[in-house]
Structures are given as C-alpha cells and as structure tokens.
Amino acid sequence: MRLIVARCEVDYSGRLITHSPMAVRLLMIKTDGTFMVFSDGGGGPNVKPQNWMTAPTTIAVEGDPPSRIEVHKRGGEERLEIAIDEVLFDETHDMGEAAALEKDGVERDLQELLAAAPHRCGEGFRLVRREWPTDIGPVDLMCREPGEGWVAVEIKRVATIEAVEQLSRYLERIRLDPAMSECRGVLAAQQIKPQASVLAAARGIACVEVDLAVLRGEREPDLTLFG
Amino acid sequence: MRLIVARCEVDYSGRLITHSPMAVRLLMIKTDGTFMVFSDGGGGPNVKPQNWMTAPTTIAVEGDPPSRIEVHKRGGEERLEIAIDEVLFDETHDMGEAAALEKDGVERDLQELLAAAPHRCGEGFRLVRREWPTDIGPVDLMCREPGEGWVAVEIKRVATIEAVEQLSRYLERIRLDPAMSECRGVLAAQQIKPQASVLAAARGIACVEVDLAVLRGEREPDLTLFG
DNA sequence: ATATACATCTCGAGA
DNA sequence: TCTCGAGGTGTATAT
C-alpha cells in the first residue's frame, strides 16, 4: 500500500463528473489497484473517500516525486486524474495479505435464529423450509400456522418500505399456486421503520419486532431494561 | 490526520460484533474523530474500511508507541478496540480544511434539465410543478399532456425495478383524487434496466431514455456516434 | 456478465 | 433528532 500526502487537484469523469480544487489530501493506492482520495476535516464525507476507483484499474504515476497520477478502468469509461502541486509525504508499506474479518449479528444470523424458533414470528408457527424458492428469488422462511395456513416470512435487520415491497413481490408469486393462494406474509425485523409498518398494514402484512438477545436465550422475552 | 501502520487485532461491537486476527493494517484517525481500519491486498473489501467509526467519537490512544487504541461513541453503544503488537509507522499530517467537491450529472441535475424541457419526457408535455407532493413523498415532475391529461414523471439516473415500484406507489395515491384518476406515469432515466422496462410495460408506465448531452443542447437528439 | 439483495451501508435534506 | 431517499453506492451470491 502506497500512501501519498500531496497538495493536488482531483477530477473524476465516469458515472458523473466531479472536480475538487487544490488542497492537501491523502492518496491511497492499494496493492490490488484500488485508488482512494481522502480529505481531512469536517467539510467532506467522514468515512467515504472523496474520490475513488475500485480494482481492477490501470494507475499511471508520472514523475518522481509524482506530479500527476492517472487512474482509469480497463474499458476507459472511467477516469480519475490527480494534478499534484507538491508532495508532502510518499511511502509504501507492505502489509501482507488481508486477514479475515469474522462477523456475528448480520441478517444471516437473525435468519438462523428465527428458523430455530419460528414461533417468535407468530403463534404456533412451524418451519417448512428456509430460503423457499420462487421464480424471482428465495423467501427467507416458509412456515405453516395452526390450521395449516401458509406464511411467508421476510427477515430484515432494519425493515424499510422496500422490505414490504420485496415481500409483496414474493407473495404475489407464491399465491399464483392455488394451494397457497391464501398465503399470509410476516415481516420480522430487529427494527421496523414507521412507513414500513404503515405500508405493511395496508398490504395485510403482519409485522414482528424481534430481539437478538431474546432469540439467543440471553434474556427473557417479557423482561425489559426498565423492568 | 494521523496515519499508523501497525500489526494489530481489531474487535468491534455495536450494531454487530466483529473480530479480525493479528495482521498489519493501516489505522487512519481523522481530525474530526472519524476512525478507520484498512487492510491491503485482495482479501477484504476494496474501497470500504475493514472497520470504522464515524465522528463524533472518543478516541483513547494508550502508550507511546501506541499499544492499544479504544474508540467509542458517546452513548457507549458502539466500541472499537485495537490491540497493537508492533507499530511500523506513525505520523500526523496537517491537511487543512476539506476542499469542496463539485458534482455534476446526478439525479438533481437531470431533474432540473427535464423540468426545463418537459417535452423530452413526452410529446407536448407541459410542466405543472416539480416535487409534486403526495402523502408518501413528492413526485419528481407533474405534467399535463395535450388533451389536458395528467402525467407523473419519475426521474432516475439508472432506473431499476425499484423505480417502477416507487412510481407505482405514487400513482396509486395520486389516482385517489377523482380529478386525477386517469393520471399516467412516465419513467425517465439515462439508463433503464431491461427488467424495469418489462415491469413498467406491465404496469402501463411509459419509459423514456434521456441523454444528458442532448438535454444540455450539446448534441442533437437525432445524431448518434455512429451516424 | 447480469441480476438480486445485504450493508455497522454512508450521506444529505427536510421535518 | 429522526426519517427518508440517493449513491460514482460497494459487496457477495447465484444464475
């Protein structure tokens, strides 16, 4: 990874056009060809680079010290140009391979926990299968409720209006099967946005907020922090 | 901005839990309190940091050279811990204020151009207003066509199936008004995905691909690169 | 290569 | 502060 601190102008043209005037910035060139431009201070975005290009790229560094850097995609449909006025720092560090990042608590984990405890999605629910296939993609959980009715469950960490649309599309397809024409929909999430609740209600879709700690048995369902 | 290259372990707990084993990484501490952890090489994500915390944060750097860094949000609901085995580089650079980034060609620009030339969305269209309000959000353009019919126009840079869903929701609401029960829908975009075209056709929504250069008068509508 | 959905999405505007 | 929608979204997975 090469790190350059330089006073420079930046021009990007591709999916849109941007220009940034002369200022001191950090230029980061990763070994895989990813290129990023960072500014400091509160003016710009916090965590996002001001400009960037994802690998694979072709990077041409002109001059030593660098006076100009051109980055472009193979097809040439995107171009990032750095005009350098002064290089304040330029060093390359070998960091070896990227070490694996283990994650716990993403939507996948929520789905596993709810598959093991489908009754958290609704009274008496029994799991038929996870990732129930439809012709436009898999439904997270397919369950049966008391009385043998079918229920499709869509799981989200945070459920927005888009989650309701997604489940609606699935239900539309599922109900084409006469045996499942009465299939209900349930939206299960750690957090459900107000507009999602409203749209879900209008579509006859039930909403269930679930708690990760409860699902893991770390906390009783009826206890609260204020109990 | 402080840049540290160090062999370290990283643990995050907050919206989820992550752990990364000992490896050499770049730690970036921005003046505003934003903290980022980058790996090099193709293993991890290209442009995203492996871990991060957006400002405002409290950052505690223990030891000199640093042996441990703790970053947390004010409420304490998120925590990022860096256990450092060896510091390979540690330097702070003053980069002044972040210089403004000017963007051109985003959806906003497209909307302005189409508002000034509504006939690009359809023969004889006249603009009634931009950001026409509905109870679930504003429609980009509301127009009238020859014969006084109403047309709601949704504008996207790239129109996907979601854009069709969004316009459908708006039309559903707009048509509740008896005076607008016949309101048509038009989806205008620089690029329309094939599946979006198909769904739009099924919903009776017209699609128009628009060209930024043509809208700006930089190129004639009937000329092409292959003409 | 394209489509589909997730993301600690981030970020900015508006209420 | 919260909510909502756009993003050069990026990223992974399945087709």
CB B110 within 8 A of CB B212: yes
CB atoms within 10 A of CB B93: 16
Strand D lies under 7 A from the Cβ of residue A33: no
**Helices and strands of chain B, counted as H and E runs:** 4, 13
> What pTM, to 2 d.p., does this model score?
0.90
Question: Which B residues 168-227 touch A at CB under 8 Å?
Answer: none
Bridge partners for A61 per DSSP: A69
B144-CA/C13-C1' distance, Å: 28
**Alpha carbon distance B95, A155 (integer Å):** 44
Residue A24 DSSP symbol: E
- Protein-covered nucleotides of chain D (CB closer than 7 Å) are 3-12
Q: Which amino acid is at B222?
A: D
Distances (CA, A) of A110 to A127, A212, A224: 15, 7, 20
Nearest CA in chain B to A9: B99
Query: Which nucleotides on strand C sit less than 7 A from a protein beta carbon?
Result: 2-12
- Show the CA angle centred on residue B11, arms to residues A47 and B58, nearest 5°: 55
Q: Could you read off the pLDDT of B175-227 as tens digits, one per residue?
A: 989 999 999 999 999 888 888 888 888 889 999 998 888 888 877 665 444 32
* pLDDT, tens digit, 9 for 90 and up, residues B43-65: 789 999 999 999 999 999 999 99
- Identify the pLDDT of residue A41: 76
pLDDT on residue A77: 86
State the pLDDT at residue A124.
96
CB contact under 8 Å between B43 and A98, yes or no, is: yes
Q: Tell me whether residue B13 is exposed, middle or buried, using C-beta atoms within 10 angstroms of its C-beta: 0 to 12, 13 to 18, 19 or more.
A: middle
Which residue bears the tokens 């459908």? B168
Chain A positions in Cβ-Cβ contact with residue B51 (cut-off 8 Å): 101
The C1' atom of C1 and the CA atom of A75 lie apart, in whole Å, by 15
- Would you place residue B75 in the very low, low, confident or very high pLDDT band (cuts 50, 70, 90)? confident
pLDDT band at B134 (very low <50, low <70, confident <90, very high): confident
Q: What is the DSSP letter of A118?
A: G
A207 DSSP β-pair partners: A187
Amino acid present at A154: E
Q: Is the dihedral of CA A123, A128, A133, A137 positive or negative?
A: positive
CA distance to partner chain B, nearest, from residue A94 (Å): 8
Which tokens is B14 given? 């907050």
Mean pLDDT within B112-119: 93
**Token pair of A45 as six digits:** 């975005």
Burial of A219: CB neighbours in 10 Å, binned 0-12, 13-18, 19+? middle
Among A29, A46, A158, pick the best mutation site for testing chain B contact (most B Cβ within 10 A). Answer: A46
In chain A, whose CA is at the least distance from the CA of B195? A136
d(CA A116, CA A118): 6
Strand C and chain A: which residues 94-113 have CB closer than 7 Å?
Answer: 103, 106-108
- What does the DSSP assignment read for B26-81? EEEE-TTS-EEEE--SSSS-SSS-SEEEPSS-EEEEETTTTSEEEEE-TTSS-EEE
pLDDT of residue B221: 66
**Which of A3, A19, A40 minimises the CB distance to B30?**
A40
Q: Is A102 on the interface with B (CB under 8 A)?
A: yes
Per-residue pLDDT, averaged over B34-48, amounts to 90
Residues 57-96 (A) near nucleic chain C, CB < 7 A: none
What pLDDT, on a 0 to 100 scale, did the predictor assign at position B222?
A: 56
Measured distance CA(B5)–CA(B36) in Å, rounded: 12
User: Which of B5, B15, B43 is opposite residue A93, by nearest beta carbon?
Assistant: B5
Residues of chain A with pLDDT under 50: 223-227
Task: Give the pLDDT confidence score for residue A225 in this predicted structure.
Answer: 39
Q: What is the mean pLDDT of chain B?
A: 90
Q: Which of B24, B34, B100 lies nearest to residue A46, judging by beta carbons?
A: B34
Q: How many CB atoms lie within 10 A of CB B148?
A: 7
Is strand D within 7 Å of residue A36 (CB)?
no
Amino acid at A161: I
pLDDT value for A140: 95
* Amino acid in position B7: R
Average pLDDT over residues B156-184: 90
Residue A14 sits at the chain B interface (C-beta within 8 Å):
no
Q: In Å, what is the CA distance from A202 to each residue of A183, A206, B177?
A: 16, 10, 18
Helix (H, G, I), strand (E, B) or coil at A169: helix
Strands A58-62 and A68-72, bridge-based pairing: antiparallel
Mutate to test the interface with B, among A3, A48, A101, A111 (most CBs of B within 10 A): A101
- Strand C contact at CB of residue B90, distance < 7 A: no
Residues in contact with B217: Cβ distance below 8 Å, sequence separation at least 6, in sequence order: none
Pair of tokens at residue A169: 């599309």
Helices (H), chain B: 107-116, 161-174, 194-202, 212-215
Q: Can you give the pLDDT at residue A202?
A: 87
> Which of B9, B2, B1 lies closest to B64 in space, CA to CA?
B2
First and final C-alpha spacing in chain A: 52
Closest CA to A141 of A210, A40, A41: A210
* A89 touching chain B per CB within 8 A: yes
Q: Torsion-angle region of residue A148: left (phi > 0), alpha (psi -120 to 50) or beta?
A: left
Looking at residue A55, its amino acid is: A
Give the burial class of B133: count Cβ atoms within 10 A of its Cβ; 0-12 exposed, 13-18 middle, 19 or more buried. exposed
Nearest-neighbour CA in chain A from B146: distance (Å): 34
CA-to-CA distance for B60 and A125, rounded, in angstroms? 48
- Using one digit for the tens of pLDDT, what is the confidence trace for B83-112? 999 999 999 999 988 788 999 888 888 999
Determine the protein residue whose CA lies at the shortest distance from the C1' of C3: B195
Question: Which chain A residue shows the shortest CA-CA distance from B35?
Answer: A47
Contact state of A93 with B97 under an 8 Å Cβ cutoff? no
CA of B216 to C1' of D9 (A): 26
| Predicted local confidence at residue A213, as pLDDT | 86
Residue A106, CB, strand D, below 7 Å: no
Predicted confidence (pLDDT) at residue B135 exceeds the cutoff of 80: no
The pLDDT of residue B41 is above 80: no
